[in-house]
Amino acid sequence: MPDTQALVNDFLNKLKKRKIEGSQATAKQTAELLRSVISQTRMPYTNQAAALIHSVKAVGERLIAANPVELAVGNVVRRVLHIVREEDLSLTTAAMAGLNLSAESDDEDDTDRDNHPALSAAAIAAASRSTLRPPSLQTLLEDVPDSAAVPHTSSSGGDSEGKSKSADKSSRSRKLKHDVIEAVNELIQDISTCHELIAEQAVEHIHQNEVILTLGSSRTVLEFLCAAKEKKRSFRVFVAEGAPRYQGHLLAKELVTRGLQTTLITDSAVFAMISRVNMVIVGAHAVMANGGVIAPVGLNMVALAAQKHAVPFVVLAGSHKLCPLYPHHPEVLLNELRSPSELLDFGEFSDCLDFGSGIGAPLLHVVNPTFDYVPPKLVSLFITDTGGHNPSYMYRLIADYYSADDLVLERRTTSGN
Amino acid sequence: MDARRMSRAVPRVRQVGFFTPNTPAKQPQPQSAAPSSESPPLSDSPASNSLSPVMIPPPRHLSDNLGGRTAAVPVPGRENSGELPTVGSYNPSESVLWLDSPPRSRIGDEELSEGAESSLGWYRRSDSAKFASSLPSGGFNLSTAKHPESVAAVEAKNPLPEQSEAQKEQASSSKPLKAKTTKAERRALQESQRAAKAASRAEANKSGTPGGAPSSKPMKQPPQKKDGPPVASSIAASERIGVDRSVEKERKKDLPPPRKQFDDESRGGRAKRRSVLNQPEARNRVELFRHLPPHKNGTQLPYLGSKFFELHEKHPAVYKVGLQYLAGDLSGGNARCIAMLQAFQEAIRDYSTPPEKTLTRDLTSKIGGFVSFLIECRPLSMSMGNAIRFLKSRIARLPLTLSESEAKTTLCSDIDRFINEKIVLADKVILRHAATKIRDGDVLLTYGSSCVVEMILLYAHELGKQFRVVVVDSHPMLEGQKLLRRLVVKGLSCTYTQLNAISYVMHKVTRVFLGASSIFSNGTVYSTVGTASVAMVAHAFRVPVLVCCEAYKFHERVQLDSICFNELGDPDAISKVPGRVDVNYLDNLTDKQKENLELLNLKYDATPSDYISVIVTDYGMIPPTSVPVIVRGYRKEYLLI
């Protein structure tokens, strides 16, 4: 336990100091941390899922509070919670089905499911499933075969576990934790391979002799373009440098190293060049449930220019960037202001920036936001690891990954603080 | 005026023919400054036509004149029909801003058909004038040889009893001109000569006024006056046709000449041969922009400096301005334009006409040489093109009777007046207009560093208005920092940000003030790169966009995108960010990497007119759709300055 605590604190510090860059790295590290938290959690005999959820939430709240702008943290926390719920559910359903099949006595059932003593196992499964997932055609259709099918798959396990009560409980508790950790491992795997999954679709979108514009640097975009290049597509890339971080220089360098014909342009030339561009492909910081995108600063301008010239604006996003929240005033609330030193030389302008010198407020303010909000109407297409989607479909896609109970995670955090 | 002309009316026939173009200039000999007011624009048309189609007085001009001299009513149309074809044929080969004006000095130059050199027109005109005045009889042939069409034009203005004959002559003379072969020219010349002789005889017979035969005084007026009405009636039918045709031609003439395309082999080669500076190698140039001249950076400065004594024909003042352009010390449309004009002023002051040359002709070619030198240092802005056009037209319209020193002072004062009226005063008017649009509590956004916008902000601040300024800047120019510094020093409260953050700051902004390098007649604003993005975002956020621009920067070109015409900056400036040592990703590239990487540094972009709410100019605040109206009116006006 103490070592987990140390790990958590260490990670919290990194988040607070913004030492971790990029949502993929953050997501991965968050998942790894939560995995160790889960493995360290002492499991009670009863209601183990709740205990797991509680410990994950406790850590998750702190992580989110440490960097509320890095939505990937919250996303991963919610994903892990969702995993715990799902695993618990599947185990319970399995156990219940086993119990039902072996026709054990009623009181055992009651102790096992203390919350819902009166309900039958199938009903519990259906109920909990419906709370986990938002109502949809898929869940509705799944429900009927689920209750019928589960018994067949896990009947043998249920049979053996039904023999002795204590053995059953300990093995189940271990099984839940084990399953959850397995699933979290899968999640980590997903996060680290999302680039490849997205890049696989590159050929479907990039044609021969196309001109593609991108801004700033994104690993997803880099892999996407290179995948198309490997498939013998020859095309040209315009890279806008993405001031004030100038990550575009980095991307341009990577691209030319891999033999792509690249032109580096200034951000101001985006409007001039967009009329000759076939497609804008950019990475995102986060995708909101309404289909809006939190993206590196400057992309709203690019999206507007693309819309003016009817150029498709394509956003690449791994599933860990899909955020279940609906944004409110995201330009300010989901933004972060970076140091003015990136824009102005302090040596030159320190006299104007000084608060102490004059009376009242200083004359000069420097604004250096990190993100831009691109409204859904400006986005033509999202490409995630599950394929291409319309902005209007994102809420549905997102609902698959998260359970409705966890959406309010953040609000509790803020009220707790 | 009429009375005076009457008294002088001593027709020296041949001269009449050749003097028409200069008539107004000559006429008021004692008051040499008079031409501007008295000169009928008609007389200028041959010169201005060949100058550039833009300068051609529109038909309305002609009719204005006619109002004054009723007798001439039918004439101008025909005159146009006679001379227009040539002009039209000049168009395609003419370069944008006299890139090609050559140091041609042959007097008897018959290469009318070549016509590629725009300044040729000037030479021709001044030649004829000179000949006519100095060797009235002997020069006749020579000059006619060069001016079949002007003869025709003159004839047209010179209504005679044999008018119909002259008309025929003219028609026939204008045709071969169109063909543009030397033979045809010769025939035309013969015919026109014949016509002129006939005309002169007739006129001599008619107006028996003696004396002043070789004098340069204009003789044509009285007969014109007398014979006007009958002539009008006699040629009424043909006149109508002529007018129709002329209107059509006029329209064609209005087309600006095509821009020089740098990727055009033939022209590019010539430019290269004549260039003073080394052309940077074409390696790693963006394919889309091969048609633009590559950027010449300051590294050529020492090279150019070492050539100072070889390029002795360049005046030191011009040389200095050129170096400043090259080094990037001078930027901003107005500053560059003023510096150029002042350098020219200085050059004109130090100028002395070489023996056996005329001032108008030699000075024009000199200026042309300066201009092409400046273009080599940095491509001209539209506003500078307009200013040069003005200066050349002033030189061309110098009365020949002026002594050299008088001509020089006239030109210098003209330049001063241009700077004063078109730039300094215009800015003051713009300030007044724009300040009315600033209210207390406003948040004004500006992009880059426009001197007009800066003046507006300072002016409004002086008026005591309470507002905040958002200065938006962009790499690699980072001009906004200098503007920011100047504004903060003056006590304005400012917010500074980069172009990328424009969507973030635009929520709070209530007005966007932008400067412009030029405004095209389709309302497109040609300005520092990034302006279009700012205007677009402002439009998306429903924030009014005010573009502040002096009317002398308006241009009759049209442009839809920023690619067809632009200026390339130093590509290496992109990879470096001043004050940021951490941005050095592109420092050590291998050759293979460099092969694939192109750096593009555009200087300008074109903002579509739908993003512009209003254009604040010295004529008031106008919508972008009204730009062509100003362009038209303005063209006329500065011809007459």
Residue A207's contacts (CB-CB under 8 Å, 6 or more residues apart) are A233, A235, A278
Considering the domain boundaries, does residue B67 fall inside one? no
Neighbours of A259 (CB within 10 A): 15
Q: Is residue B545 domain-shared with residue B451, that is, in the same domain?
A: yes
Q: Is residue B508 domain-shared with residue B397, that is, in the same domain?
A: no
Nearest to B585 among A243, A250, A297 (CB): A250
pLDDT of residue B289: 87
Two tokens at A121? 């196992």
Report the CATH number at residue B344.
1.20.120.420
pLDDT of residue B347: 92
Q: Is residue B534 domain-shared with residue B412, that is, in the same domain?
A: no
**Nearest chain A Cα distance for residue B606, angstroms:** 7
Considering the domain boundaries, does residue B198 fall inside one? no
Q: Is residue B541 domain-shared with residue B573, that is, in the same domain?
A: yes
The residue out of B363, B388, B423 marking a domain boundary is B423
pLDDT of residue B290: 84
**Nearest chain A Cα distance for residue B184, angstroms:** 48
Q: Is A276 on the interface with B (CB under 8 A)?
A: yes
Q: Is A181 on the interface with B (CB under 8 A)?
A: no
pLDDT of residue A321: 93
Q: What pLDDT, in 10s, does the model give residues B31-89?
A: 444 444 444 444 443 443 443 333 434 444 433 444 334 333 343 334 444 443 333 33
The residue out of B374, B389, B423 marking a domain boundary is B423
Domains annotated on chain A, with CATH? 4-193 (1.20.120.420), 200-335+370-406 (3.40.50.10470)
The residue out of B388, B423, B458 marking a domain boundary is B423
- pTM, full prediction: 0.72
pLDDT of residue A345: 83
Q: What pLDDT, in 10s, does the model give residues B388-414?
A: 988 988 888 888 888 888 999 999 999
Residue A55's contacts (CB-CB under 8 Å, 6 or more residues apart) are A37, A38, A41
Q: How far apart are CA A210 and CA A193, in angstroms?
A: 27
Q: Which domain holds residue B304?
A: 295-423
CA angle (B135, B137, B139) in 5-degree steps? 55
Closest C-alpha among B258, B331, B526, B286 to residue A271: B526
Closest C-alpha among B294, B374, B325 to residue B567: B294
Contacts of A342 in chain B (CB under 8 A): 580
pLDDT of residue B157: 46
**Nearest chain B Cα distance for residue A46, angstroms:** 51
Q: Is residue B450 domain-shared with residue B574, that is, in the same domain?
A: yes
CB A376 within 8 A of CB A295: no
**Which chain A residue has its CA at the smallest distance from B484's CA?**
A364
What residues in chain A have per-residue pLDDT under 70? 1-2, 100-173, 352-361, 409-417
Q: How many beta-carbon contacts under 8 Å exist across A and B?
A: 190
The answer for B503, left when phi > 0, alpha when psi is -120 to 50, beta otherwise, is alpha
Contacts of B501 in chain A (CB under 8 A): 297-298, 367-369
Tell me the CA distances in angstroms from B13 to B163, B166, B218, one per residue in order.
Answer: 15, 14, 10
Considering the domain boundaries, does residue B348 fall inside one? yes
**Which chain A residue has its CA at the smallest distance from B596's CA?**
A261
Q: Is A344 on the interface with B (CB under 8 A)?
A: yes
Nearest to A252 among B533, B595, B597 (CB): B597
**Which chain A residue has its CA at the smallest distance from B532's CA?**
A271
**Nearest chain A Cα distance for residue B450, angstroms:** 16
Contacts of B602 in chain A (CB under 8 A): 265-266, 268-269, 272-273
Q: Is A252 on the interface with B (CB under 8 A)?
A: yes
Of the residues A266, A267, A276, A278, the best mutation for testing chain B's interface (the one with the most B CB atoms within 10 Å of its CB) is: A266
pLDDT of residue A133: 56
Considering the domain boundaries, does residue B49 fall inside one? no
Considering the domain boundaries, does residue B33 fall inside one? no
In one-letter notation, the amino acid at residue B504 is Y
DSSP letter string, B567-596: -B--THHHH--TT-TT--TTSS--HHHHHH
pLDDT of residue B57: 41
pLDDT of residue B296: 77
Q: Is residue B484 domain-shared with residue B393, that is, in the same domain?
A: no
Contacts of B289 in chain A (CB under 8 A): none
pLDDT of residue B42: 41
Q: Is A310 on the interface with B (CB under 8 A)?
A: no
Q: Is A338 on the interface with B (CB under 8 A)?
A: no
Report the CATH number at residue B630.
3.40.50.10470
Subunit contact B495:A275, Cβ cutoff 8 A:
no
Please tell me the total count of domains within chain B.
2
Q: Is A297 on the interface with B (CB under 8 A)?
A: yes
Considering the domain boundaries, does residue B175 fall inside one? no
pLDDT of residue B287: 81
Tell me the mean pLDDT per 10 residues along chain B, length 641: 46 42 42 41 40 40 40 39 38 39 42 40 41 41 43 44 48 45 62 65 50 42 42 45 52 61 59 56 72 77 69 80 86 91 92 86 89 88 90 87 89 93 94 94 94 95 95 91 90 93 95 95 94 96 96 91 91 86 85 88 94 94 92 70 48
Q: Is residue B615 domain-shared with residue B472, that is, in the same domain?
A: yes
Q: Is residue B481 domain-shared with residue B612, that is, in the same domain?
A: yes
Q: Is residue B503 domain-shared with residue B618, that is, in the same domain?
A: yes
Considering the domain boundaries, does residue B177 fall inside one? no
Q: What pLDDT, in 10s, does the model give residues B475-503?
A: 888 999 999 989 988 889 999 999 999 99
Residue B430's contacts (CB-CB under 8 Å, 6 or more residues apart) are B452, B456, B548, B549, B550, B616, B617, B618
Q: Is residue B520 domain-shared with residue B633, that is, in the same domain?
A: yes
Q: Is A265 helix (H, G, I), strand (E, B) or coil?
A: strand
**Which chain B residue has its CA at the smallest distance from A258's CA?**
B593
Q: Is residue B442 domain-shared with residue B419, that is, in the same domain?
A: no
pLDDT of residue B152: 44
Two tokens at A181? 């950790």
Subunit contact A262:B597, Cβ cutoff 8 A:
yes
Considering the domain boundaries, does residue B541 fall inside one? yes
Two tokens at A255? 């691209």
pLDDT of residue B82: 40
Q: Is residue B487 domain-shared with residue B569, that is, in the same domain?
A: yes
Parallel/antiparallel/unpaired status of strands B554-555 and B518-520: parallel
